[in-house]
Amino acid sequence: MIAFTRAHTYFKEINTELLGLSVDSNSSHLAWVYDIYCRTGIKVSFPIIADRNGQIARKYGMIANDISNTETVRNVFIIDDKGIVRTILVYPMNVGRFIPEIIRIVQALQMADCSKGSTAANWMPNQPVIMQAPKTYEELEERVEYINKNKNGISWYLSFKEPNTKCINSKESCNRLEEEK
């Protein structure tokens, strides 16, 4: 709760909202949030859903039945604006989440979507993205010529382009970029 609250500003900057889910009661959530505030001065800045019967947690595979019928494993779901689950991270109960990686994943998804390309292994913001593979032989020939001219790939199926950095921060920027094409 504390780590996500501290990072909430960063998530907002990349057009992302946080939502917590717990099988504990609303009263428990209020007690946690109040205790966190009393001990640290940090106010949890996102909603937490009380899923007392575990119905939502079970639908998303968050209950580790081999460990407990009521305790959830530590999950992170990145869900896009269309309600599609794009990434699922599952952490054991004794391992904390790594917020910088979660932010990087959101940025990579946004960049891949907006650039109509892919991000490579270990991709970081502002690094080149992989261009979509050509679909026709004519496009393949154009791609080979493009690579030879720009020295930005190893073959027609693996070439790179510079990312459009306007694309990563907001949906509005991404929509404008698509309209400009």
Q: What is the CATH number of the domain that holds 78?
A: 3.40.30.10
Express each pLDDT in 72-109 by its tens digit.
678 999 999 999 999 999 988 888 999 999 999 999 99
Question: Domain range spanning residue 157?
Answer: 103-180
In the predicted model, residues of the chain with pLDDT beneath 50 are 170-181
Tell me the pTM.
0.82
- Cα separation, 175 vs 92, in Å, equals 38
Pair type for strands 129-131 and 153-155: unpaired
**How much is the pLDDT for 178?**
42
**How much is the pLDDT for 66?**
59
Q: Looking at the structure, do residues 16 and 83 belong to the same domain, yes or no?
A: yes
- Cα separation, 108 vs 102, in Å, equals 10
**How much is the pLDDT for 175?**
45
Q: Looking at the structure, do residues 57 and 85 belong to the same domain, yes or no?
A: yes
